[in-house]
Amino acid sequence: MTYSERLKKLPDQFFAALVQKVSRAMAEGRDIINLGQGNPDQPTPPHIVKALQAAAEDAQTHKYSPFRGLEELKEAAAEFYQKQYGVKIDPKQEVAILFGTKAGLVELPMCLLNDGELMLLPNPGYPDYLSGAVLANVNVETFPLTKDNQFLPDYEGIPFEQRNEAKLMYLNYPNNPTGATADLAFFEKTVAFAKEHKINVLHDFAYGAIGFDGQRPVSFLEAEGAKDVGIEMYTLSKTYNMAGWRVGFAVGNPAIIDALNLIQDHLYVSLFPAVQKAAIAALTGDQSCVDELVARYEQRRNAFISACQKIGWEVDAPTGSFFAWLPVPSGFTSESFADFLLEKADVAVAAGKGFGEYGEGYIRVGLLVDEDRLIEAVDRIGKLGLFNS
């Protein structure tokens, strides 16, 4: 038995390799502070867990749900977008329930592109975006996200041929891995760019709840005309600490939503109904748990950035997400620095090169351990004498 050519072309799973390195170090009995992960460390709020428990005890949830998900969950998603972003969503035509947004991100190129057509991806960007391109057998060009441009794409810098040839473009703000955020003016510019060049847009809004310094992240769909050109995907993983529950949704352009629903008709028979009931409780219930979570991440960010500055590490504070994007000291690549920190300081981080060539020169840190462990990690790094304090 041999793998298909399609499977052979899949990129190496960057995060799987990182987990293996950390696991080996921990198996040696070392006290590893793991800042390389993107897995929320807090439990799912109790009222959501209780909603799942109650639903699971109802025999009706033990059956298949409708192929395209519960209508009540679609209505909850529409209600959520109206309350949070002032965006009106038609639950019947403009919502697709997803098995976690990773599934939707990988499915979408297969829905909209034919073999050999072109999609545009951010660089650095979430590595699994490439998985969808490979499985759809489409071509990829990337656009750089650089500090000089606040880690936003420069649309004028994308070659003219690529702008006219591309059929699909992915964006992600608050951004993984850089922690950058985008404002409404940027999304308005994106809509104009997409209309001019007839490009469909997918905005990955995974960190849509996590903005700092009193700033609420902006939804792509808040820009006038956004639903004419694209959709947004929202996961419950980060907002409600439901990463293992694998539930999210897409909202926006009805034709793109219908395409997602169609491919999922052939892949799944919808989510376990009890998980959908719990998702309804999350979206429609008291949102104070979200406010508390964001406050926690902001406190961690502040403590971490302050500790970095104390050891002479010149870093910028992220404005959203639960990641920090830090420059590596001279004499290192992103990968050699990550390996060095794991070996010499028992601190695990993600090498920026794993997110694309424009990630070189950076590491990504997850603010997903308690403040004291974040500070301890920086203290360990400081003792290596790499920075001028």
How many Å apart are CA 297 and CA 169, to the nearest integer? Answer: 29
Task: Delimit the domains of the chain by residue range.
Answer: 5-44+288-382, 46-284
DSSP secondary-structure letter at 313?
-
With beta carbons less than 8 A apart as the criterion, state whether 323 and 367 touch: yes
> Is the fold of 5-44+288-382 the same as that of 46-284?
no
| Span 74-102, pLDDT tens digits | 999 999 999 999 999 999 999 999 999 99
Peptide bond into 153 cis (omega under 30): no
Residue-wise burial string across 171-197, b where 16 or more C-beta atoms lie within 10 A, e elsewhere? bbbbbbbbbbbbeeebbebbbebbeeb
Tokens encoding 114: 């034919």
With beta carbons less than 8 A apart as the criterion, state whether 172 and 204 touch: yes
With beta carbons less than 8 A apart as the criterion, state whether 352 and 363 touch: yes
- Residue 86 sits at the vertex; the CA angle it makes with 81 and 92, to the nearest 5 degrees, is 45
In this prediction, residue 142 carries a pLDDT of 98
* pLDDT-wise least confident of 9-23, 53-67, 122-136, 327-341: 9-23
How many Å apart are CA 241 and CA 235, to the nearest integer? Answer: 10
DSSP secondary-structure letter at 328?
P
Res 301 pLDDT > 60:
yes
List the one residue out of 197, 248, 205 whose CA is nearest residue 223: 205
In this prediction, residue 157 carries a pLDDT of 97
In this prediction, residue 262 carries a pLDDT of 97
pLDDT bucket at 19, cuts 50 / 70 / 90: confident
In this prediction, residue 389 carries a pLDDT of 53
CB atoms within 10 A of CB 309: 15
33-34 and 347-348: which strand pairing?
parallel
Computed over every residue of the chain, the mean pLDDT equals 96
Phi (first) and psi of residue 65, to 5 degrees: -90, 170
Q: Which CATH superfamily is domain 5-44+288-382 in?
A: Aspartate Aminotransferase, domain 1 (3.90.1150.10)
In this prediction, residue 37 carries a pLDDT of 87
pLDDT, average across residues 281-304: 98
How many Å apart are CA 101 and CA 260, to the nearest integer? Answer: 11
In this prediction, residue 72 carries a pLDDT of 98
How many Å apart are CA 388 and CA 98, to the nearest integer? Answer: 48
In this prediction, residue 322 carries a pLDDT of 97
Give CB contacts under 8 A, 24+ apart, made by 102-105.
Answer: 102/128, 103/246, 104/233, 104/248, 104/250, 104/260, 105/129, 105/132, 105/170, 105/202, 105/204, 105/233
* Secondary structure of 37-74 as H, E, C letters: CCCCCCCCCHHHHHHHHHHHCCHHHHCCCCCCCCHHHH
| Span 167-217, pLDDT tens digits | 999 999 999 999 999 999 999 999 999 999 999 999 999 999 999 999 999
CATH architecture of 46-284: 3-Layer(aba) Sandwich (3.40)
Res 387 pLDDT > 70:
yes
